[in-house]
Structure 1
Amino acid sequence: MSDSSDKDPRASKVRSCLRMLHATLSEVEASAVVTRDGITIASLLGDAADKDRFGAMCASLLALADRAGKEVERGRLRQVILDGTKGPMLLTQASDATVLAVAADPNANLGRLILETRKIAAELKKRLDSVDE
């Protein structure tokens, strides 16, 4: 699993949150924090994954889900859950500008995965807000 090495000042704070998530839930196979415009701030992805393409696709999914939710008046988007044959993927809003993307093993407990990703997203928001100050 490769660790992104961007020069972004937020990257080290974000990366430590990603490591915390992987340590808490062994079922997490990949994770990244992506801006709404598709830039990957930090990631812990498999070696075969392209972090830039992944970031762009997550941003596109998030934009579409946000628009679909607004169309049926669901309020502010908090989380998108994708269920694949090889496991779930969650996109969880971390701040107005960032999203936490997590891919997990197919045997992961979805309820626990949702709760833990929301906790990490809240921690990311705190850390990102402190960098912006």
Structure 2
Amino acid sequence: MIYGGYAVRKDGQGWRSVDGSEADPENKDWIYPDYETEEFSQDTPPIPIASPEEILAAANSHRDMLLTFATLRVNPLQDAVDLEEATEADIASLKSWKKYRVLVNRVTDQAAYPHTIVWPPQPSE
């Protein structure tokens, strides 16, 4: 029995820390690999490689999070404009946040999307 290591998935999609290479009757609470789906390794496993679908999903999720954040900034500024209570600073900030939101929405048009993304800088508050 080898103590301490990693149970590495045979499909290459992840790993977890384990207490030993095989079950130990004296330590029933210990965690060890499931040899049907995992292999034992003492070496630090490589980082799993994301599938194209996972890369696209992560990029879209990040884009959507930035769009939501921008909308939270736009809405009260737009309310101030609609109610004719906006200051010049409010109007300038509204324009900046709307422009940012458009640029974030257009990151999908970038040639290397979703593998390489140049995110627009957020407006200063």
TM value normalised by structure 2: 0.29
**Bigger relative contact order, structure 1 or 2, given CA contacts below 8 A and separation 6+?**
1
TM value normalised by structure 1: 0.27
In our comparison, the structure showing a higher alpha carbon Rg is 2
**Greater strand proportion:** 1
